[in-house]
Every structure is written in structure tokens, then in C-alpha cells.
């Protein structure tokens, strides 16, 4: 058993760095308009400082409106979190971009096609779809069965054979597909679960929102077999990482 570094339990306070709000509205309905709205969303992401071409391409391709309720679809390309039922939300596009860009930064384009990635918190499946367009193999775990099924339905039409959805509690990670080159946690915990730290390859990166009332994105790099390094990034707001399944 590898030692758990003390700093992972007591993370330093968030360095709040507020990002400017960007609004992109869908010009009259969806379809072709959704492609234009997506292109505007990607431009907005660029203006916010997202640079990674692979991440921007993936976000230009995945139809975010197909992951949310039809009543909210006209807001799909605004930079906002939206409800997806069961008290959960789809993360805002800038957060999805920021998280993926951060965990992919250490992998040159040639290595991404072989990279094994875990997402904790599938929700509606949007971020999983983006991850599957950036990385070779993606596993995404969700603890709410209804959302797991909803994501399966949302993702069917996209035909992403390199994406596997798992139902269960992500605190334990998904050992069958471990170790991972990158792990993205989409719900906030007090501390990063041990199992996730153990399921990182040496050299891998993990990003997770940590905290309760105040949260910040934490980037962890497994720099050696027994050494993890932490960097605290932006202040964020995520739904909580809960134990067990429902």
C-alpha cells in the first residue's frame, strides 16, 4: 500500500480567479444553427484562453444541445451549467475545456491516441463525449443509475466505440481499466479518494474540484511512484461527490 501524502487531506485554500462571463445564444433554433453556435462557443473559449487544438476541435464537434432537456436546448451553447435532473448539472463549457486542457497538457498529440482516461461523474455524458474525442480510451463512472442510463441514450447517436460507461461509486475508481494517464473528477469531495491516486500511472495527471462551501480545482501529478504533486487552480462550483449508488 502506498502512503497517502498528508497534503491531500488538507488542501491549501483556493486562489479565486474569476473568469469573465461569456454568453453565446443560439440564433433561431438548432440544426445548422447549432453548428454556428458551437463555433461561437469555441471562439469564446479561445478568448478565455483555451489553447489546446484537440480540446477545441472536440468541443466544436460534440453537440452539447443533445445532452440537455429540449426546453433548455436554446441555452446549450451559453457558458453556463444547466440542470440535467436528479439534482445534478452539466458543467459549463469553459470548465469542461479548462479541466481537459489541464489534464492533457503533459501528453503530446501522438500519445493521446493511446491514452487511457477515467471520468468520475458521467452525468448526462457530455464531458465523456468530449474526452472520447481527445483520448484513445475513456471510461466514465456514474453513481445515479437513471443518469447512467440517460447518458447511454444521449451518447448512442454519437457512436463513440472508445467510450465505456460504468455504473457505480467512483470513490473506488474503475480498477479494471486502470492505471490511467488522466483522471477527471466532475463532482466535489473534501479530499481526493485514495483509489484514484493509486489508479494513476506515474506521470499521470488528475483534476478534481475539492472543498465544500469553497471549492477549487486541484491538479495532481503523480511525479514518481510514491510522490504526488499538487497545484491549486481556479475557484469553481460543483455538485458534491457522494458515496454509494442510487
Residues annotated as part of the active site: 91
44/84 with CB nearer ligand SAH: 84
Q: Which of 187, 206, 208, 220 binds ligand SAH (CB under 6 A)?
A: 187
**Residue 62 Cα distances to 48, 116, 118, 154, 158, angstroms:** 19, 20, 19, 11, 8
Using rule CB under 6 A, residue 147 touches ligand SAH: yes
144 is an interface residue for ligand SAH by CB under 6 A: yes
Q: Does 152 bind ligand SAH (CB under 6 A)?
A: no
Residue number with CB closer to ligand SAH (90 or 103): 90
CB of 165 to ligand SAH, least distance (A): 11
Nearer to ligand SAH (CB atom), residue 52 or residue 169 = 169
- Nearest approach in angstroms of CB 21 to ligand SAH is 18
Q: Is 132 in the site for ligand SAH (CB under 6 A)?
A: no
Helix-helix angle 145-156:126-134, to 10 degrees: 50
Residue choice 34, 74, 91, 94 for contact with ligand SAH (CB under 6 A): 91
Contact of 113 with 146, CB cutoff 8 Å: no
Q: Would you say 136 and 198 are in contact if contact means Cβ atoms under 8 Å apart? A: no
Q: Which is nearer to ligand SAH, 123 or 211 (CB)?
A: 123
Neighbours of 223 (CB within 10 A): 12
Q: Please give the sequence-ordered ranges of beta strands (E in DSSP) within the chain, or none if there are none.
A: 82-85, 88-90, 116-120, 137-142, 163-167, 180-185, 200-210, 215-224, 227-236
Say whether residue 241 binds ligand SAH (CB under 6 A).
yes
Question: Grid coordinates in use for 225?
Answer: 511512484
Residues 101-130 that bind ligand SAH (CB under 6 A): 120-124, 126-127
Please report whether residue 143 would count as binding ligand SAH according to CB under 6 A: yes
Our finding on whether 88 is near ligand SAH (CB under 6 A) is yes
Q: Assess 90 for contact with ligand SAH (CB under 6 A).
A: yes
Give the nearest distance from C-beta 19 to ligand SAH in angstroms: 17
Cα distances (angstroms) measured from residue 179 to each of 2, 36, 90: 15, 38, 26
Exposed / middle / buried, residue 87 (Cβ in 10 Å: 0-12, 13-18, 19+) = exposed
Tell me which residues touch ligand SAH (CB under 6 A).
Answer: 88-91, 120-124, 126-127, 141-144, 147, 169-171, 186-187, 239, 241-242
Amino acid at each position: 500500500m502506498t502512503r497517502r501524502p498528508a497534503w491531500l487531506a488538507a488542501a491549501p485554500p483556493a486562489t479565486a480567479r474569476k473568469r469573465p462571463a461569456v454568453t453565446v445564444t443560439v440564433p433561431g433554433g438548432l440544426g445548422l444553427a447549432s453548428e454556428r453556435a458551437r463555433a461561437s462557443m469555441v471562439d469564446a473559449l479561445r478568448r478565455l484562453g483555451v489553447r489546446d487544438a484537440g480540446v477545441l476541435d472536440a468541443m466544436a464537434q460534440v453537440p452539447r444541445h443533445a445532452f440537455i432537456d429540449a426546453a433548455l436546448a436554446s441555452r446549450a451553447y451559453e457558458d453556463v451549467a444547466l440542470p440535467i435532473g436528479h439534482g445534478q448539472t452539466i458543467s459549463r463549457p469553459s470548465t469542461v475545456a479548462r479541466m481537459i486542457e489541464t489534464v492533457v497538457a503533459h501528453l503530446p498529440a501522438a500519445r493521446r491516441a493511446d491514452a487511457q482516461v477515467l471520468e468520475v461523474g458521467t452525468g448526462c455524458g457530455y464531458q465523456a463525449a468530449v474526452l472520447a474525442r481527445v483520448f484513445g480510451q475513456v471510461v466514465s463512472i456514474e453513481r445515479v443509475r437513471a443518469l447512467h442510463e440517460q447518458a447511454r441514450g444521449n451518447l448512442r447517436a454519437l457512436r463513440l466505440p472508445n467510450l465505456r460507461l460504468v455504473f457505480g461509486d467512483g470513490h473506488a475508481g474503475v480498477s479494471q481499466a486502470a492505471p490511467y494517464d488522466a483522471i477527471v473528477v466532475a463532482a466535489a469531495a473534501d479530499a481526493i479518494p485514495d483509489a484514484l491516486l493509486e489508479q494513476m500511472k506515474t506521470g499521470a495527471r488528475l483534476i478534481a474540484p475539492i472543498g465544500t462551501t469553497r471549492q477549487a480545482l486541484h491538479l495532481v501529478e503523480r511525479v514518481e511512484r510514491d510522490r504526488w504533486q499538487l497545484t491549486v487552480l481556479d475557484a469553481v462550483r460543483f455538485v458534491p461527490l457522494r458515496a454509494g449508488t442510487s
